Amino acid sequence: MDDPGQLEREPAGGGPGAAPLPVRIEVVGLSVYTHHGVGEAEREVGQRLVLDVTLELDRCEATATDRLEDTIDYGDVCREVASAAQARSHRTLERLCAALADHLVDRYGADIVTVRAAKPEPPIALAVDEVAVELCRRRS
């Protein structure tokens, strides 16, 4: 028998010709300066939001091919989320999350997109770590 240390192992997900596997791509803690909020000051002065995005693919070819073009480039996701979050102002985080999720489903064709938007310094008179909204969209 060969020495186990000498065996070549197939990477997880198989190699060429292997069936694509499901994948979850996550961006956590993307900090973006925006102008969202109910109050005039929030929309005028702006504030920092922290965004988390999850894109789920039922089948991801990159698990077999190891090619960037066969998956979703998380760097591109970050740029798209930041740009879309700064493109217009929404009064509620709920609307912002829905707009971002719809945009990401359309752009990347992910099967499920989850967006979480948090205000680490919300304009309320009580001490809280953050307020947040999370929304999940499924591709139809």
Residue 138 has pLDDT above 90, yes or no: yes
pTM: 0.83
- Inter-CA distances, 127 with 48, 50, 121, 130, 131, Å: 17, 18, 9, 9, 11
pLDDT in tens, 28-40: 999 999 988 888 8
Residues assigned a catalytic role: 119
Residue 17 has pLDDT above 70, yes or no: no
Which of 61, 40, 36, 66 shows the shortest CA–CA distance to 51? 36
pLDDT in tens, 39-55: 887 788 889 999 999 99
Assigned fold of 19-138: GTP Cyclohydrolase I, domain 2 (3.30.1130)
pLDDT in tens, 49-73: 999 999 999 999 999 999 999 999 9
Q: What does the alpha-carbon distance between residue 68 and residue 56 come to, in Å, rounded to a whole number? A: 16
Residue 83 has pLDDT above 90, yes or no: yes
What pLDDT is stored for residue 27 in this prediction?
A: 98
Domain boundaries, the chain: 19-138
Rg of the chain on CA atoms, in Å: 19
